[in-house]
Structure 1
């Protein structure tokens, strides 16, 4: 599995000059996506709706609204 491309604007394009806040979204060679975000499993685990589940190896991460909105145009329809 490899990173194929960035989805959306780079952190620098979104104004992160210091590298302190760098949420990011990447398309992987297997067609899945990887995200860099703020780990929030402990804070949000109990907030999941009753029809949602998280495996022990999965984490809840927060990606800023700007990151996701700016990635929208690059996310394939299929």
Structure 2
């Protein structure tokens, strides 16, 4: 069955949404920073801690993680800081 949406691996990074992890005090170095980026096709890429296995057995009813998906956690204040950069629907 074909998915209604598929990630486009050719999309390029367009702009950071919000502030860097260093600006928010959530990074010790430049090598382990969570990030939120808008791609040039309008999709959003997130870099965070992969906790797929940790959460796999306790997902809410109806929530599934596909074989090619990962559950990524990033600091909540990072997403809140990105709110002004995220367009309304």
Relative to the length of structure 2, the TM-score reads: 0.78
Which residue matches 1:9? 19
Deviation at 1:50, TM superposition (A): 1.8
Deviation at 1:14, TM superposition (A): 1.5
Deviation at 1:12, TM superposition (A): 2.4
After superposition, give the CA deviation of every residue in 1:37-65 in whole Å (9 maximum; x if it has no partner): 00000100111112111110000010111
- C-alpha root-mean-square deviation of aligned residues, in Å? 1.4
Which residue matches 1:28? 39
Q: Determine whether 1:63 maps to 2:77.
A: no
Provide the C-alpha distance between the structure 2 equivalents of 1:20 and 1:4, rounded to a whole number of angstroms: 20
How many residue pairs align between the two structures? 78
Unaligned runs of 5+ in 1: none
Deviation at 1:19, TM superposition (A): 2.5
Unaligned runs of 5+ in 2: 1-10
